[in-house]
């Protein structure tokens, strides 16, 4: 049985990426491609992930039919991270920051500005619900989602997401 994990992922690492300021789109693309948080990165093999300190890792959900696994990862003094694996490779990282955590780093506007400084002007969704940055050349998407009492930052591999959606469509039984 599959469990849906709400989109959310990647702020603290961006705060720590001070050297990757996006003066141009190429730098934003590189920040998306090279993003790492607590030793976790997109493309990380599941076996390598499992070698991280065990006390920081817990399984959240498994969908054996689609070969999807979601783990939570607790970075000490950091923010909780959901790491989603497809065919044993990390394809999405989701970070959620709740109000208390946001106030610890100076608030939502600080995170928002750091994302814009890192990735440049958003490519889509510039509204009160969040932003999206898409990098088709490197198959990455960065999302910033605003929700009541929390924000979420997501970095994902768009090629893996497309394959997962195709796998779901192939398994869809509508009776005809």
Hey, what are 108's tokens? Answer: 């939502």
Name the range with the highest mean pLDDT among 44-48, 71-75, 109-113: 44-48
Distance CA 41, CA 112 (A): 21
CATH number belonging to domain 12-167: 3.40.1000
Where is pLDDT greater, at 24 or 48?
48
Q: What does the pLDDT read at residue 24?
A: 63
pLDDT at 34 exceeding the cut of 70:
yes
pLDDT at 16 exceeding the cut of 50:
no
Q: What does the pLDDT read at residue 65?
A: 92
Question: How crowded is residue 151: how many other Cβ atoms within 10 Å of its Cβ?
Answer: 22
């Amino acid at each position: 049985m599959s469990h849906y994990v709400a989109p959310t992922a990647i702020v603290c690492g961006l705060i720590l990426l001070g050297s990757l300021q996006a003066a141009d789109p190429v730098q934003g693309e590189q920040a998306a491609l090279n993003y790492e948080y607590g030793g976790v990165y997109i493309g990380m093999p599941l076996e390598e992930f499992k070698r991280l300190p065990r006390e920081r890792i817990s399984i959240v959900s498994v969908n054996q039919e689609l070969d999807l696994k979601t783990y939570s990862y607790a970075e000490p003094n950091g923010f909780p991270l959901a790491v989603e694996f497809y065919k044993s490779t990390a394809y999405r990282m989701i970070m959620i920051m709740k109000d208390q955590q946001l106030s610890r780093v100076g608030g939502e506007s600080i995170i928002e500005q750091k994302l814009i400084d890192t990735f440049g002007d958003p490519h889509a969704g510039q509204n009160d619900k969040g932003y999206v940055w898409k990098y088709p050349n490197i198959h990455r998407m960065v999302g910033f989602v605003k929700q009541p009492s929390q924000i979420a930052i997501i970095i994902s591999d768009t090629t893996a997401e497309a394959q997962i959606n195709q796998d779901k469509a192939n398994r869809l039984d509508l009776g005809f």
